[in-house]
Amino acid sequence: MEEKKLTGFPSIDKPWEQFYDGIQKRSIFLNTTPYQGLVKNNISYTDEIALEYFGSKISFGELFNGIDSVAKSLESYGVKKDDYVTICSTTTPEVIYTFYAVSKIGAVANLISPFYTPEELTARINECHSKLIIMVDKFLPRFKETLNKDADIKIIVLPMMNSSVLRFITPRYKIDRSSNEIHWKTFIKNGADRNNAAVAPYEPQKPQAMVYSSGTTGASKGIVLSVDSFQKLINAYGNSGFDTSRKQKVYQNIPPWHSTGISLGINFPLSFGVQVCIDPRFDHTIFVKNVLKFKPEYILTNTSMYQGFTFEKSLKLLKGKSLEFLKYPVEGGEPLTEKDIANIEGVFRTHGSNACLLNGYGECECGATVTTDITSHKFSNVASGIPLPDITTVSIFDDDYNELKYGERGNILVKTEIGMIEYYNNAEATAEFFYIDKNGDRWSKTGDIGYMNEDGSLVVLGRKSDYSAINGKKIYNFDIERAILTSDKVKLCEIQTHPADQNKLVAHIIWENDANTTVRKNTEMQSEYFKEIQKTVLEIMCLPEAVPHSFCVRDSFPSAHSGKRDIQFIKADIDGLIEL
């Protein structure tokens, strides 16, 4: 066979395709809805465990029964094809039942974060004319007054521990009988006598779910994802070399209001018969404890959770324990440095696992996954893997939409079959998000800066908006952070401007364990470490304006509700600021 001639342009060469050669292609989930795909691949395995949640183990047979019960109840409350059903909850078994029940009857899941204001949440409910809200009891008090103003809305109150063995000792939310609140058990009971709901047929590009943008560049927008966004994605993963054999376990804690949580964390493993272990809490210590408890082959979580493996408290928890069961830890959400990965994988090696930390990159508008490391090949530690087979093309463009060659950094654009249909009822924002090239192809503008390697792997450097303007010079904060993290004394860092002076850089630092011990014994050494950091930044960036002269030392970085670092909190919290 004649060797393919390379042009130097990733979108033409598609060098990532070489890594999928020889993998048998399957189409099991194409032209299905999430409900159809789940049943199709699992109906013969009803006794196998599908979910584990706070001590309860739920079989696929029980999962199917739960879905059927919710589907009947939805119809009993008047939900029809194309109606939006609002889900405002962490991941619980009932949320999973509801997602598939909505798919079964042809409705649309409106997945909303509970961290909006009551007014924001109500606006999103009203915008899509959703009349049925399923809300976990822990969140309801904050929204109770606002939601009860609309008598047409029914609020199904879901106890967070309803399916857990802890439900008997958990304080119960008392339903307000004078309001429009309905207990989950009443909701299910009211549909119990109905015939099973008919299964809605597959329709190409039919809306399946709506999630929401982060709102970092303005008001958050509804992101409408189709049935194909879910099913073409999991089919591509099945054709990428990932081990999707049955009876494995994945531990995941990404919330359902992120497309990654509902798509990769729930629909992907369950559809293939992989058991999902759930704990919605974003806490480093709990995360490590759960890994030891569940013993999963796969983990799917945000980057910041893996960094918890290297904390002193976690190392104490791991002492004498084995991680040999761990095969495929998958992360995403924030870039990791080579040192981060080396530190995390070093903990794995010390505790008996040869697992490589598999990186991925994506965003909700692109259907959760843009690129990923694959289990049959680990790319460089600075890369975020390659595009999934058959459905996605990634390349780098300058600000005038000229495609750049390998190694040239610029704007990351994505052409994908699993991207969003639209920003809901927002034609202007939808048009702005997409770039239509001369061939009529539609590219998603991710808002991220990066470059492509010759093997087709993508390196994501950071957000295009993540910069500081110091003395009139635009400097990407992620470039400074990477320079600082070359120091063997720094575990993690975050560069932000001073909250009261946008012309001053503040380096938020977490010391490596050995450096931290040294600083505690000899505080004068900290100033020497700061000076070393300043020298390193100047040598690497050759830009005096990039050198921070203010430092905040921290024990850890707080996580936002998304599981990513809480940047706004970090920036505002400058207690103990040290000036050099």
Which residue, among 255, 259, 202, 268, has the nearest Cα to 225 in the 3D structure?
A: 259
Q: Kindly tell me the burial class for residue 449, based on how many C-beta atoms sit within 10 Å of its own C-beta (0-12, 13-18, 19 or more).
A: buried
Please tell me the predicted confidence (pLDDT) of residue 335: 63
Please tell me the predicted confidence (pLDDT) of residue 1: 40
Which residue, among 485, 98, 501, has the nearest Cα to 262 in the 3D structure?
A: 98
Are 394 and 428 a contacting pair, CB within 8 Å?
no
- DSSP assignment letter at 504: E
- DSSP assignment letter at 83: -
- Give the residue, 299 or 559, on which the prediction is more confident: 299
How many other CB atoms are there within 10 angstroms of residue 2's CB atom?
Answer: 4
pLDDT tens by residue, 405-419: 999 999 999 999 999
Q: Which helix (H) or strand (E) holds 232?
A: helix 227-238
- Identify the band that residue 178 occupies on the pLDDT scale cut at 50, 70 and 90: confident
Task: With a cut of 70, say whether residue 552 has pLDDT above it.
Answer: yes
Please tell me the predicted confidence (pLDDT) of residue 219: 61
Share of the chain above pLDDT 70, in %: 97
Rounded CA gap, 515 and 195, in Å? 66
**What three-state secondary structure class fits 546?**
helix
Rounded CA gap, 536 and 339, in Å? 16
pLDDT tens by residue, 519-544: 988 888 999 999 999 999 999 999 99
Mean residue pLDDT of the chain comes to 92
pLDDT tens by residue, 314-343: 999 999 999 999 999 998 766 667 778 888
Please tell me the predicted confidence (pLDDT) of residue 161: 92
Are 240 and 372 a contacting pair, CB within 8 Å?
yes
Please tell me the predicted confidence (pLDDT) of residue 270: 98
How many other CB atoms are there within 10 angstroms of residue 485's CB atom?
Answer: 19
Please tell me the predicted confidence (pLDDT) of residue 535: 96
Q: Kindly tell me the burial class for residue 245, based on how many C-beta atoms sit within 10 Å of its own C-beta (0-12, 13-18, 19 or more).
A: exposed
pLDDT tens by residue, 504-513: 999 999 998 8
Task: With a cut of 50, say whether residue 566 has pLDDT above it.
Answer: yes
**Mean per-residue pLDDT for 136-152?**
90
Q: Which of 26-35, 89-98, 169-178 has the lowest mean pLDDT?
A: 169-178
- Identify the band that residue 90 occupies on the pLDDT scale cut at 50, 70 and 90: very high
Rounded CA gap, 448 and 461, in Å? 7
- Identify the band that residue 217 occupies on the pLDDT scale cut at 50, 70 and 90: very low
Which residue, among 356, 242, 369, 357, has the nearest Cα to 305 in the 3D structure?
A: 357
Please tell me the predicted confidence (pLDDT) of residue 94: 98
Task: With a cut of 70, say whether residue 2 has pLDDT above it.
Answer: no
pTM of the model: 0.89
Are 486 and 536 a contacting pair, CB within 8 Å?
yes
Are 495 and 476 a contacting pair, CB within 8 Å?
no
Task: With a cut of 60, say whether residue 102 has pLDDT above it.
Answer: yes
**Mean per-residue pLDDT for 234-252?**
94
- Identify the band that residue 47 occupies on the pLDDT scale cut at 50, 70 and 90: very high
Task: With a cut of 80, say whether residue 563 has pLDDT above it.
Answer: no
Rounded CA gap, 357 and 378, in Å? 9
Please tell me the predicted confidence (pLDDT) of residue 119: 92
Task: With a cut of 90, say whether residue 435 has pLDDT above it.
Answer: yes
**Mean per-residue pLDDT for 565-570?**
85
pLDDT tens by residue, 539-550: 999 999 999 999
Please tell me the predicted confidence (pLDDT) of residue 562: 57
- Give me the domains of the chain, ranges plus CATH numbers: 10-26+229-462 (3.40.50.12780), 54-203 (3.40.50.980), 466-579 (3.30.300.30)
Task: With a cut of 70, say whether residue 11 has pLDDT above it.
Answer: yes
pLDDT tens by residue, 361-411: 999 999 999 999 988 777 887 888 999 999 999 999 999 999 999 999 999
- Give the residue, 229 or 2, on which the prediction is more confident: 229
- Give the residue, 303 or 17, on which the prediction is more confident: 17
